[in-house]
Each structure stands twice: as structure tokens, then as C-alpha cells.
Structure 1
Amino acid sequence: MKWINVSKEQSEFESYNNLIVLSRIKLISAAVVLLSFLFIYFDWTVIRIGTDKVYQITLISMHLFCLLSSAVFLIFYRRIVKHTKDGKRFISTIPQVYFFLYILVGALSSVNSQHYTGNIYSYIILSLIAGAVLTLKPLVMVISYLLSHAIFLFGISLLDTDAGQALTKQFNATIMIATSLFMSIMFYKHRMKEYFTKQKLKENEENFKKLFYANPYPVFITRLEDGKVIKASKRAISLMGMNEDETKGYNSLNWYIQEDNRLSLLEELKSNNSVYNRIVAYDFQGKRMWVTANYEVIDYHGEKCILTGIMDITEIHKVEEELSRQASTDVLTGIMNRRMGMNKLEELMESGKTSFVEFVLCFVDINDLKKINDSLGHGEGDRYLMTFCDQTKEKLGEKDLFFRMGGDEFIIVFLNKSLSQSEKLWKKLTEHLGTFDISASHGMAYYSSGMELELEDIIESADKRMYEEKIKYKNEN
């Protein structure tokens, strides 16, 4: 089976090569017809000056043969090409016959010139042209060269009476013919290699297209330089809510939500040529979509492009976000829980080592919550806590932290505030909470970059002050 495939591929190449040779024969034939007036003028001059009759008759006969055969070839050229494409064996031999006759005419012309000029230029020139332009199967060229050269050698030895000159001409012609044959074989091999390379590339491109369009996930090809969409699979087109024409030239890089995502991706692609399993947010048809994306830099039709394949993980991402929210949120009040709040505080303290950070930590304890639970029930106590949290969140700054430590204890972090500023804010907050009959004790501790304090020390200091206020409140009530 492999041998059959190779034979078929070789046959396809020969048909392709024959079509190239036929197009070049067409040019040569057209040149012969257009320059026929030169042949006529030369033949008339030869007759007028009275050269050797054999030379005259042979020269005129060859000129007529070349002119008539060229004209006939041009007339039937389209039909010959059509039958060659159809694989007609008889027609496919025309380039081979032409090649042999072309060299033979050169050999006969040079042999005939022994009657008049004594040169062998015609044979050498036509042989070199044939080797460079009419490149055929090496076996065909070898047989053609051998037959025509044998006729040439025999003719020169028969007509050139000077044995030394005859030997010189035969030797020089043999060297040139060998050179022409070697050159033509190299051209043939190069053309064959080029043909099979193109066929392989074409086959690979077809396979790529099949994989591209059959891929169950959305796939894009975009230019690396400017991000313009060159090709998009049907799933990708459907996902974008466009038709195929609308996707061409669309800037896919604008689908990224965050600018730093876009820039970091391009930098990584330029460095590594590939990025795998990157989670990216896209906006398609006005909807946010989270995907796992794989990127590969490829050469596509001579341009550096990015092959992108994406898999929709929006639902998975929503579940993860919800789990993350639940893990970081206090179930009852909806504010940050202790674990998340402490993490935020630790990050804030850590950032204070490289940049200036200032804040006031306020430790808060709700007053009389046990009385409410005991007298009105835990349900009322829960509503009491939720009201406290809702009202406190409304009065805090956007960058301030607020989380539940546990039970009836909370921590508020006033960012970029001094103690006096924070106390004023707390006073306004307690006045607002008082309208809901909510009371709380508090204690504050100040921190700024450079202070030799640990987070536990700050919380302990604020807790101690809160406890002192709590005792005072109990004594008064």
C-alpha cells in the first residue's frame, strides 16, 4: 500500500512538472513564430551568397520544421494541457518528445554548420537551454542527451576533416552536455522536493482546518501584532453572537476585562510562545464569561499569529466564588468573618514594611445582647446584631475594615485616621446606632509604620480599653 501511495504521488508530480514544461514550450514556440522573419532573412541570405547546397537544404528544412511544429503546438496548446491534466498517457509524452527534438535540432544544426561556419554553438546553447528550462525525469533526459550526442559525435567525426579540431569540438561539447545534464537533474530534484514540500504543507493545512473546525470548543486565530481575528471556528462565532464576516478584523484582545491581563499575556507569549490554562474573563454579548484559555504562537500564512482555545468555566467559577464568599463571610451578619478579617489585617501590616500605613483598630462589644437573648429570644438577638452590622457598614468609609470576631465582638479598622479622628467617627456612629436603641462599648489602638508592634499587641490593647468601658457601662446601668 505504501508503494502504491508513493507511485501515485510521483505520478501527480510528473503531471505537475509536465504542465510547467508545456507552459515553457509555449513560450519557446511563441518566440520561434515571432522570430520567423529572422529565419527567412537568414535563409534568403544563405541562398543569395551561394553556400553549399546540402547546408542550404538542411538549414531551411530545420527552420521550416521548427516553425511548423511551433505553430501546431500553439494551436493545440489548450487541448494538450487539458489532456495532460486528465492523465492521457499519449499526450503526456509530448514534453519528452519535444525535449529530445529540441536537443537533436541543436546537434543537427551544429553538424550542418561544419559545411559553412565550423562552430558547434547551436548545439551547446540549445542543450543548456533545454537543461535549464525543460526539466524532465532524469532517465528521459539521459536517453535524449545520449542519442542526440551520439548523432553529434558521429556527424562531427564524419564532416570535420581536421582530426584535432574534431576531437576538440567533441570533447568540449561532451563537457557542456554533461554539465547541462547535471544541472537539469539538480533542477528536477529541487522542483520535486519543492512540490512534495508544498503538498505536505497543503495536507497539514487541510488537517489543521479539519481539527480547527471540528474542535468542540471555541477556537480563534488572531494576529500577534494587533490582535485582529483572522479565523474563528463555528463555536467561537456562535459564542460571539456574530456572523463569520463580522469576526474578520475584530479585535479579540479587547475581550479581556483587565488591561494588565492583556499586557501580561502578550509579554508571556513573546517570551515563551505559549500560555496554558490561564483563567481569563471575557465579555460576550454583554455577559461576563470566565474561561480556561490556552494560547500558542503559530506561523499562519506567513504571519505570527496566536491560536487560542477556550473552555467555558463560568458556572464553575460562580460556584468557586460562592464557596470563597461563604468561607470568608459571617453567615449571620453578612460581613467578613474572623478568618478573613485577620488575613486582611495581616496583609495591611505587611504592606506597612514597604510603604506608609496608618490605622486605628477599634474593638467593639455589643451591650446587653445576653439580656435580649434571655428575655426576647435568640431570634431577636440575631436581628439586633444584623441591624448593628447594617447600620455600621453604612457609616464606614469604603476602605475601612469591618469584621466579626465572634459572638457579640467586632473589629472596625479606620484607615488613614488618627485616634482623635477615629473617636469622632465612633461618636457619630454611636449616635446613629442610638436611634435603633443599640449600644456598644469600644476600645481603640493606633498603629502606623515604624511602630514596633505585633497585630496581637494592637488587638489586645484595644480589647483592654473596650473592657474598661464595658465595666463602666455595667456599673452605670
Structure 2
Amino acid sequence: MENSLKILLVDDNAVNLTLLERLLKDEGAELHKAMEGEEAIGLCREHDFALILLDVQMPGMDGYETARKIKEIESCCLVPIIFLTAIYKDPAYARMGYEAGAVDFLTQPIDPPTLRGKVGVFLELKRQKDRLEREIAQRIKTEKALRAAEEKYRNIFERAVEGIFRSTLDGNFEEINPALARILGYDTPEEAVKKAHTDILYKNPADRKVFLKKLMQEKSLNDYELRFRRKDGSVIWVSESCRLFEEGGEFYIEGVVEDITHRKMCELELQEKATLDALTGIPNRYLFFDRLEKSVANAGRYGEKLALLFIDLNDFKRVNDQYGHHAGDMVLAKVAARLKSRLRSADTFARLGGDEFCVLLERPSDRESIARVADDFINCLTEPFEFDDVQCSIGASIGISIYPENGVEPEGLVKKADQAMYRVKEQKDRKYCFYS
């Protein structure tokens, strides 16, 4: 009969220990509890644990120090430790955890299905390991048999759903598990090892240089997002957690890769919706001010100028009143398209709201060039708009402010351009005006 598996629960909070005990009572393992580091270390010397769930933040000896001391015990050097923490997403804390010997993290409050799933995996690994060790002890107690046991034990990890790899520092893969081969679109791990060199894997080769530089500095990376190119040429997003280590005088990288394409596409779609105006497809007020702040900072650093054009449509209310809001929306979209076609790719064009638009011109040569842009905007809007049996004409009033002579704060520049625009409204013979 197989020996009962044992799990050690370490937390200075009695309520947390009780909760963990209740969640794991049906997992088929003996549960041992400790409320501080020294007690946990003592229990590790007495028992053969399949898994340790260890709280990071404890008074006195914290989780990191406790883990290091447990790993110093010869019989415990391979016992997996899962840290329980609320600070796992901070790369610095994650790195400290892996250096201390952690194999995984669970964030608090604990998600019961996630906890049971991870615990179940490690208990099964322990069962397999114990079974292999007993078979070896019964047959041949030699170094060769031990190496075979380690290889069998390693094969369990190859059945993981996440992609696992080991590569040289120059990008040659030495090992790829079946899951990673499937993620990259290859039929077998052997084919992936042979063909999936990092020279062709990264969608943008410059991304690998940035990745390696960061890895060399930090020695391990967690949840690092990259774009990979699959065997068929399609591009996917992956999240990679890996570490850099030395073996036999050579440096290697090993880690875990997860396909996050669906999640990333959803994030990018939400980000686009949050920063682009839904009606016109151009940047909205939020994105405009974000770019304006960055442009002002760069202009100040390099002694350059910026010009801000505040555009307000004339007679737009009449369009809404006469033809309805659907027609007004159509006019706004067509106005945005006409104005956008007159701009350089370096300039920023945004809708601030209603019938108000703003244009940020980068590095204008002089006031005359700015005036020419304003004239071009006004002229391009003089041609009537025609759609759905509707024909209407509108104009525009433009107020202009210049960085740095009219101000150095983004909000102040927009306000002064707005004030200049109202001066145009008051003087019917003018179409644009510089702030003064």
C-alpha cells in the first residue's frame, strides 16, 4: 500500500490555515500546519512532504527566508513550494520567490478551483515519483537506474498543457515539449527543435534583443509578452516566464510559454475603443491629451516648437436641426476624413467632443506654414457634403496657440487656442486667429 501523501500549510493567520485545510480536506493527503517559519522547518526535518504551501508575509522569519532554509535540508531540496501572496505580480517579488525556491505562486484571496488544480498536479507528481523510486529500489540500486527515474519523472512535466523549452543563449532550442510544438504549429517536438530557431520565431527581430537585454539584467522574467510567428506564418501573442542559468560553463534559457492570443486581441480591442472616437475613428480627447503631454515634454527637451489648432465647425447645429442627428454624425465623420487627409503622419488629429476638433502640428517651421495649414483646413470644408439625398455646407473657425511662446502646459495651450477660436467667432470676416 502506498504511503499517505503529506502537505505542509504555513501561515501566521489561523483563519487562513483553517480555510486552506477545509479546501484541501478531500485531496487525499495528510495536512500538517505551522504558524511560523521555525515550526515549518522543524516539521520538514520530520516529514516527507509532497508539497508546501507557504505564506510570504509572516512576522519574524518571512516566507522567502523560510523557503531558503527548507531548501538547505537535504531531504527537502526537491520539495515543491507554492508561495501564497498578494504581491506576486510585482516582478521584483516574483524574482525573489523563484530565487528562494518557489515553483509557483497563488495570489490571495485564494481561488479554490485553481488551488485544488495545482495541488492535484503536484500530488500526482509525488505519487509518480514515489512509485518510480520504489521500483528502482526493488530492481537495481545503481546510478543508471536513478538517472532513468529522473528521466521518467521529467516525462511527467512533458505532459503539461503549457509549452516548456530549453534553449542556448544564441537562440538554438535544445528541448521543446509537445505543448510548445503545438503552440508554434509544428507536428512534433523534434521538428520544432530543428526548425524553430529564434531568428525566425520573433515577429519583430528587435524584440529578441530587448528580451535578452532584460533577461541578462534580471536573470528571470515573468509573464513577458511577445509576438511569435508560427510555422504557417501566422502571428500569435505568447506570455513567457523563464530564467537564465549556467551549466558546464555555458548559459541557457529555460521557461514556460502560454498562448495568450485571444486574451491579447480582446485587450487591444478594448484599448482601441478607449482611445479612439467611435464615430470618426480618430483619437479621442483622452488620447489627444496623452500625446500632447509627451510632445510638449519632447519639445521642451529638444528646444522645438509645437502648434495647436482648435477647430470648431460653423452652422453644425443647423445640420442637426434640419436633417437630424444621423445626418450630423455623417457630417462629423466626413469632416474628420477631409481634415485627416491634409495632415502629415507625424501630426495628431483628434475629436475633443461634439463638433470640436484639435490638431497638433509637430515642429512647424514658422507662423506662415501654420497659417497655410489653417487655410487648407478651411478651404477643404467649403465644398458641400452630399449623402443620402442630403446636401449641406458648413465652415470652420480655427484658433491657434504656439508652444512655447503661448505657454508650456498642455491644458493652457488648448485653452488659449480655444480663446483664439472664439475671437474668430466674434469677427465674422476672419476664419482663423493666432492667440495673442
TM-score > 0.5 by shorter chain: yes
8 Å contact from structure 1 (residues 329, 335) kept in 2: yes
Partner residue of 1:238 out of 182, 187, 205: 182
Partner residue of 1:248 out of 152, 173, 193: 193
8 Å contact from structure 2 (residues 181, 192) kept in 1: yes
1:351-366 map, 5 Å? 351-366=298-313
Give the whole-Å Cα distance in 2 for the aligned partners of 1:458 and 1:9: 80
Are 2:410 and 1:455 aligned?
Answer: yes
Are 2:362 and 1:429 aligned?
Answer: no
1:435-450 map, 5 Å? 435-436=383-384, 437-448=393-404
The corresponding residue for 1:48 is none
Partner residue of 1:218 out of 140, 159, 163: 163
Task: Tell me the CA shift for residue 351 of structure 1.
Answer: 2.3
Task: Tell me the CA shift for residue 199 of structure 1.
Answer: 4.6
Give the whole-Å Cα distance in 2 for the aligned partners of 1:455 and 1:7: 73
The corresponding residue for 2:320 is 373
In structure 2, do the counterparts of structure 1 residues 359 and 12 end up closer, same or farther at CA, with 3 Å as the change threshold? same
* Structure 1 residue runs without a partner (length 5+): 14-194
8 Å contact from structure 1 (residues 348, 357) kept in 2: no
Give the whole-Å Cα distance in 2 for the aligned partners of 1:292 and 1:7: 38
Identity score, percent? 25
Are 2:230 and 1:275 aligned?
Answer: no
The corresponding residue for 1:467 is 422
In structure 2, do the counterparts of structure 1 residues 422 and 247 end up closer, same or farther at CA, with 3 Å as the change threshold? same
Partner residue of 1:12 out of 140, 159, 163: 140
1:345-424 map, 5 Å? 345-417=292-364, 418-424=366-372
Give the whole-Å Cα distance in 1 for the aligned partners of 2:307 and 2:402: 4
Question: Which structure's residues are more often strand, by fraction?
Answer: 2
Q: State the Cα RMSD in Å.
A: 3.0
1:144-223 map, 5 Å? 196=143, 199-212=145-158, 214-223=159-168
The corresponding residue for 1:263 is 209
Residue type of the partner of 1:327?
A: A
In structure 2, do the counterparts of structure 1 residues 201 and 434 end up closer, same or farther at CA, with 3 Å as the change threshold? same
1:21-40 map, 5 Å? none
The corresponding residue for 1:315 is 262
In structure 2, do the counterparts of structure 1 residues 416 and 401 end up closer, same or farther at CA, with 3 Å as the change threshold? same
Give the whole-Å Cα distance in 2 for the aligned partners of 1:253 and 1:388: 45
Task: Tell me the CA shift for residue 327 of structure 1.
Answer: 1.0
8 Å contact from structure 1 (residues 296, 308) kept in 2: yes
How many equivalent pairs are there? Answer: 290
Give the whole-Å Cα distance in 1 for the aligned partners of 2:134 and 2:192: 41
Residue type of the partner of 2:162?
A: Y
The corresponding residue for 1:81 is none
In structure 2, do the counterparts of structure 1 residues 271 and 475 end up closer, same or farther at CA, with 3 Å as the change threshold? closer
Task: Tell me the CA shift for residue 342 of structure 1.
Answer: 1.0
Q: Please give the per-residue CA displacement for 1:335-373, whole angstroms capped at 9, x wherever unaligned.
A: 111111111111111223422332110010000011111
In structure 2, do the counterparts of structure 1 residues 305 and 443 end up closer, same or farther at CA, with 3 Å as the change threshold? same
Task: Tell me the CA shift for residue 329 of structure 1.
Answer: 1.5
Give the whole-Å Cα distance in 2 for the aligned partners of 1:337 and 1:343: 10
8 Å contact from structure 2 (residues 406, 416) kept in 1: no
The corresponding residue for 1:332 is 279
Give the whole-Å Cα distance in 2 for the aligned partners of 1:241 and 1:357: 49
Task: Tell me the CA shift for residue 222 of structure 1.
Answer: 1.5
Question: What TM-score comes out, normalization by structure 2 length?
Answer: 0.60
* Structure 2 residue runs without a partner (length 5+): 4-132, 385-392, 432-436
Task: Tell me the CA shift for residue 475 of structure 1.
Answer: 10
Secondary structure of 1:227's aligned partner: coil
